[in-house]
Structures are given as structure tokens and as C-alpha cells.
Structure 1
């Protein structure tokens, strides 16, 4: 009886498994969620003169015969894209790219770079991914070869540019750093400057200011040693921007003061007011820890105003005066702030900046209010109202200020 029961149960289990297997076999298979990289398809292509066996490269003659056909594919793909058929265009380009590898790594990378730029501009994320994967494979191969052979600088430069075209900044910098290592060893100053400029610009484009700073410091040193005054100014300007973004006032001061020296030596005064404003702002920042540096801030704001006035740059002069007023006010020097405010009115009048004049009178009125000098405040706000009425702007504000003072006097 027990044996019979075991047989029945076993049969039921086997029957159940058979039904499950049958049901599974009838279920549709899920679609391939990750289609293969079209650049890795190995289907024989009629454009190939033969199937290379054992990875044997094509002969020079075979490569020369293949190249025009690939150029024709590129033109055909471009025409398809121009006609609005993006899908077919990239199918043709992918075929071209698969075949380009038979012309060598450099030719393939240059083609990947070209098509990668198009794919990025067309917002074709899949194609960008395929090209990036292929570039990574070529990079890996190049890294293994550099241990036994001389580094191919042109290939690494092309890899860097290709990665830039598909916006892979990390990989681009890895490629360019390979170039940098070699040109340092070769003591090739011209090539060193070029690759440093490329790396620096790439760092700046990705807002990586801490990495960009030493690159431009080195470029500055090279330009100074070579007497390259034009690029020296360019690198100083880049460094000034970098140190401003990274909130490093002392480093910024060093750079800005060098720029002032150069501009003064060249009698190029037009850039001085802006530099002096930046220098004063840095001293103001440093004065939070060392109050004695406030004198330098005052001095540079005043020099910014004086130079701008001499150059008839009244907008810049007004900016300097505004900074001075704010600094005097922060130190509780109301009389001095009022004196500079009166000069600001004249400066704005000189440049026919009526809106600026209106704001200056408002500022004067507020300063007089702090001193409880209501008559003077009232006069300032009334002048501000006259301008507001002409501009048809902020009339209600000035009327409100006048009304408040009138009530306070009562």
C-alpha cells in the first residue's frame, strides 16, 4: 500500500513538472533589453577584399582601396541625416566605423571622433554610448601596448579629442595626461604648452577650478620665462578668474597686482579700474581677519574711481563709489559715506544715468535718516521723487518716504 502511494505521488510530481516545462516553453522570451553594440558586429562585409585571418591586417594596397569606399559611406550617411533620416544615417555610419578599424587605430579613432560629435549634437544617446565603449576598448589596447612600445602621441591626442566630442571629460583627461607625460620626457616645450592649454581649458569647461589652477600657474611660468607677454596676460586673467571662483583672496591679489604692473608698464589704463575694484574686494575679504587691510581696500576703491573718471568711464566710476559708500557705511562712517554719495550723484549725472541718480538720492536720504537729520533726508527724497516722476518709476516709494518723514516731524 505504501509503495503504491509513493508511485502515485511521484507520478503527480513528474506530471506537474512536465506541465510547468510545457507552459514555460510556450511563454514568449523577453526581448533583449541590451542590444549588441553595432560597432562590434562581425558579419562579413562585401567592401572587405577578404576576411582577415588571425587578425592579420590588410595590406597597404588593400587599405588604400578600402578608404575611398568608406569616405563614400560617410558622405551617404551625411546626406541621409540632411534629409531627416537619422536612423539610416547612423546605420551607415556604424558600418563605416566597423570597417575603419581595418585601417588602423588612429584612422578608427578619428572617425569615431567625427561621428561621436554628430551623435552628441543629434542627442543620440545610444550612439554616443556605443562610440564611447569602442573608444574605451581602443584605449585599453593602447595602454597595454605602451608597456612594450613607444607611446603613439597622435593616437592619444585623437583619443582625447574623441572623448571630448562625446563629453567624457574624465577619459579625455586620462588620454591627454598620457600625452603630457611623454612631452615632459621629451622636453618639447611647444608641445608641452599646447597640451597644458588643452587640459586647462577642459578643466575650466567642467568648472574643476582646483585642478585648473596649477595648470595655468605652470603655463604662466613658461610664458614668463619665454618673454611671451601676450599669453602671460591671458594666463594671469584665467588665474584671477579661478582664484575668484575658489574664494582665495591672497592668491587672487598676487595675480591681480601682476596684471596692474603689466598694464601700467604698457600704459594700458583701460583695464585698471576693473582690476582695482577686484583688488579692493579681496582686501575687504582679508580684512575680516586682519582689519588693518581695510585701508588697502579704501585706497584701491578710490584709485578705481579716479582712474575710471579720468578715462570717462562713468559707469565703472559709479561702481567704485558704490563700493566705497558701502564700506564707509559698514564702518559706521556716515559723514564720509554722505560725501561720497554726493560725488556719486555728480558721476551719474555726468553719464546721464537718471536711474542711478534716483538711487543715489535714495541712498543719501537713508543715510540722513540714520542720523535723524529729517530735513536733509526730506530734501534728498524729494529730489529722488522728481527723477522718479520723470522715469515713471518708484513714485509710490518716494512718496511713502516723504510721508513718513512728514509724520515723524509732526
Structure 2
């Protein structure tokens, strides 16, 4: 009797405790997990290096500033040493302490320090630290707007800091403010430099339309001022931007302007590459407008002829290969063969054995296209001779000779 009673009491007690536990759990609100830890740059903790108490709002004396600057530089060195030793966590803990104290030296000093550590965090691939610094930069930016302390030096430091943490949109907002400010001051040099920075940011993020708009402005300014050096620079940049943006019509416009300047200045060394690029643009446009194909041929021809005149035989050979490929794509076999003979001369004059070997291969393929197998066989045999000298690609030429020999028998 007693054991049964004991079991009953224990069971009832257990159920009562369980019921109470469930009731407590039901009445207690569940706490959300702490997914977003506080930004260590925003927390306020006592620090022995802090030169004043929280209630003390007076500016630091020059002596206090100097003492603090020395102490913060020591922290910076300690953090750098920790990072070099592979202790990234401790390094950024020290840097975060330094950054919390930097605000006592003013907004500009803090932003400059955030910029420095931000670059280190980015290079160390510490995304969380980069986020902390970006958030703090935004806080300081808002404070400066409220307090109206955002002078030009501060804005430039802020824009640079946002670049260091790769926040392009935030950086562009700041540089737009800088641009408006320097324009208001009539500072033409600062305006150009700011536009260059904005353009480089757009390019860095592959925003080619926005980059093109900036460099078109820069080009107009350089042209109006007769600044030939920068005019050439901006035209080159625009040609590149439009090429990357797959806008051959616009890149062609920039390159034609460049060619005109080079020819007027008798700067012929730039012509071969430029004419080849112009030919490539025409080739791309000819897909929609076949009548432009002749312009592609003319510019390839002008490119290799200029290179030849300048005794740039290697460059001439490279351009001739593109011209030959275009002839073959259009079924102009005879023209391709004529260009191939010139290619042989270019490779011989440049003493380029490998180029000469591949030229004979090119000629052999063209003769096959024309179904002139005996001539193709001769070309491949000459190619094999050079391949044997180089001890390279011998098997390939042997196979080509066997294939062509079989065609000749037929």
C-alpha cells in the first residue's frame, strides 16, 4: 500500500511541476536571438585613455590632444603588429578602441582614421568590420550635416573613406556635394579632379553609361580650353568605355577624332593600333550595315602599311592576320592569299620563326579553301620544316600533309 501511494504522490508532483513550467513558459515572451551585435564603434565604455569625463564637453587642450594622438598611434602600431602576427581578431579589437577614441580629436580626424582602418579591413576581407566602419561613417556624416560642419576638406576625406570600404553609392553622393561646392567657388582644377574621381568610381563598378557621361564632360572642357594632352587622354578613355559597353559607333567616333589629332601632329607611331581598332569597330557595325565592310578593309590595310613603314613588322604581322581572317570570312580567297604573302615577308623581316610557321599553316588552309591541294601541300611542308627546327607542332603539320596528300590523290 505504501509504495503505491508513494508512486502516486511522486507522479502528481511531477505533473504539477511540469504544468507550472509550461505555464511559466507560456506567459514568458520568447526573446529574439541577438542576430545583430552592437557596432563596437558606437558603444560607450570607460577608457583610461579618454582625456575627459562623459559630462565634460569642453574642447581638448593642445596638450591633451597631443597626448591622445601619441597614445592612439601606439594603439595603431599594436594593432598592425597583431595583424602581421596573424591575430586578426585582436588587431581589430585594438583598432576599434583607437577609432572610438579618435572622435575626441574631431570629425575630420575620425573620418581619416576610419578610412585608414577601412582599407585594412577590406584588404583583410573582414566584411563585418567593413560594415561597422561604413555605419560609423554614415553616423558622422549625419552629425556633420546637422551641425553644419561639413566643409570641403571633411567631404573629401569622407568620400575617400567611402571608397576605401567600397561603398560607391555613398561615395558618389559625397562627390556630388564636392562638385557643387567647387563649382560654386569657381575652382576649375578641383572641378576636373572631382569629375575624374567620379568617373573612376563609375568605371570601377563597370557603370559604363555613367562613366561615359562624365568623360564626355571632361572632353568638352579640355577641348574648350585647348588642353590637348587631356583631350587625347579623355578620347582614349571614351574609346575604351564605349568598347566595353559594346557601342562601336561611339567608340569609332572617339577613335576617328584621335586619328585626326595624331595625323595632324605627325604622331604616326600611334596610328597602326588605332587604325586596327577603327577597323574592328567598322567590322562590328558591318553586321548591321554591310556597306561599312569596305571601311574595315581600308583601315586594316592602312594599319599594316603604317606599321610596315615604321618597320614594326611584328605589329604588321598581327594586323595582317586580322585582315586575312576578314577576307576569308567574306570568301575573298585571292585577296587573302595576297595578304598572306605579305605576312610571310613580315614574319621573315621580324625573324619570327614561330610566326612564319603559323603563316604557312594559314596559307595552307586558304589553299584548301580554294581546293588547290598541291599548293596547300607545299605550304604545309614548309611549315613542317620550321616546326622541326623549333621542335614544336610537328605532329600537327604531319597530319595536315597526310590529309592533303589524300585529297590530291582523289
Q: Same fold (TM over 0.5)?
A: yes
Match of 1:355 in 2: 354
Decide which moves more: 58-67 or 131-140.
58-67
Aligned residues: 395
Is 1:388–2:390 an aligned residue pair? no
Kindly provide the CA deviation profile for residues 160-185 of structure 1, in whole angstroms up to 9, marking residues without a partner as x. 11111112222222221221222233
Matches within 5 A, 1:5-16: 16=18
Matches within 5 A, 1:2-401: 16-20=18-22, 32-53=34-55, 56=57, 58-61=59-62, 62-63=64-65, 65-145=67-147, 149=148, 151-401=150-400
Kindly provide the CA deviation profile for residues 33-63 of structure 1, in whole angstroms up to 9, marking residues without a partner as x. 433211112122222333243x835345454
> RMSD in angstroms over aligned alpha carbons?
2.8
Shift in Å, 1:302: 0.8
Q: Distance in 2 between matches of 1:76 and 1:95?
A: 11
Match of 1:3 in 2: none
Q: What's the TM-score once normalised by structure 2's chain length?
A: 0.88
Kindly provide the CA deviation profile for residues 177-224 of structure 1, in whole angstroms up to 9, marking residues without a partner as x. 221222233332111111111111122122221111111111111222
Shift in Å, 1:86: 3.4
Q: Distance in 2 between matches of 1:268 and 1:355?
A: 31
Identify if the C-alpha distance between structure 1 residues 181 and 17 changes in structure 2 by more than 3 Å, giving closer, same or farther. farther
Shift in Å, 1:347: 0.8
Q: Distance in 1 between matches of 2:18 and 2:385?
A: 96
Identify if the C-alpha distance between structure 1 residues 51 and 279 changes in structure 2 by more than 3 Å, giving closer, same or farther. same
Q: Distance in 2 between matches of 1:94 and 1:151?
A: 24
Match of 2:10 in 1: none
Shift in Å, 1:12: 11
Shift in Å, 1:374: 1.9
Secondary structure at 1:38 match in 2: coil
Please tell me whether the aligned partners of residues 37 and 130 of structure 1 are also in contact (alpha carbons under 8 angstroms).
Answer: yes
Q: Distance in 2 between matches of 1:24 and 1:95?
A: 42
Q: Distance in 2 between matches of 1:397 and 1:77?
A: 60
Shift in Å, 1:260: 1.5
Q: What's the TM-score once normalised by structure 1's chain length?
A: 0.88
Shift in Å, 1:401: 2.2
Secondary structure at 2:41 match in 1: helix
Identify if the C-alpha distance between structure 1 residues 78 and 332 changes in structure 2 by more than 3 Å, giving closer, same or farther. closer
Secondary structure at 1:39 match in 2: coil
Shift in Å, 1:32: 4.2
Unpaired runs of 5+ in structure 2?
1-12
Shift in Å, 1:321: 1.0
Match of 1:7 in 2: none
